[in-house]
Structure 1
Amino acid sequence: MRDRFGPELDRAAAHHHGDVKAAERELKTRVRRFGKLNLRALAPTEREQYVTQWTDLQAKFVESPGVAVAQANRLLSHLAAELGYPADSHARQVEALSVRHPGRVDGMRQLHLAAQRAAEGGGTVEEMRQAFVAGRLLFEELLVTYSQDEGADKSVARHLERVPQQRSIDRTRSLG
């Protein structure tokens, strides 16, 4: 179980107050429930549309981090649903994703939490940035894993690398 689930096993054990056996039972239940989902691959044009949308959100983050995080959260959830993961609740979608993407699924949790905090007027820009990056890692993994295109990993990485890095602005100096 440790080899397959890694950090997801640790997270489940923490949820069960350190009881590793209970965590293993939970993960086995997830595998039975979601291991045979009928998932579909994205056509190259669909993948490119998702990449373009994410790229736009990355650029938007500089000026409106809360808005960008909320939209990235929705986009990631929509992508997962389009691939065939449950769309009825965030919790079920995360559980289902954890079966095949245990090393990256926490990115969805972080992005969702950051979006909730931003909607309530909380969370720092740094917390939102970290959540955005973690969400992006899952986003990329989903695009590459469920692509009809053999060169998807290089194509996705090449496209997302074109986004300019965030610039820090010295807001203390006068514009005049």
Structure 2
Amino acid sequence: MSSKNKEGVCKETVYNRVFNAHSKNLFNFLYYKYGSLYNPEDKVQEAFVKLWENCSKVPEAKAKSYLFTIANNLTLNAYAHQKVVLKFRQTKPQSYTNESPEFVLEEQEYNARLQAAIANLSEAQRSAFLLNRIEGKKHKEIAEMLGISKKAVEKRIYGALAKLKKEITELK
């Protein structure tokens, strides 16, 4: 076994020689086999990166086979991933619910009552309540936004909750 085969392709001159000898052929192979859809240029580059990462394990004599195998596998993986993406796109969202029509109607009525109850709150209570419950802001953040104290924010929110509980009996 010659010293060339023992070292692999880690030397820059050897690696450059392998790159110059096989990069164009590898690109053509991938382009003709799979087309431009799977970016053959990228796969060639990825194959050479993997060759560099494993340069001590790959002798120069087997570099061509290694490159073609790696590039082919990378492209096949991209193809398989594309199939999964396509299958996911073709699945239709569920267009029905398991709830009974009575439940759906009750839910709509409840939402209408809740929206009306929120609309009946004072502007100060409504803004503090919505900032806290809908946008998830902390009491301190709301106080800074509205230019009031934290206690005032707490009073507005808890007052809004008390009014909502009075107006909507299901919240009790």
TM norm structure 2 = 0.20
Higher normalized helix content (fraction of residues): 2
TM norm structure 1 = 0.20
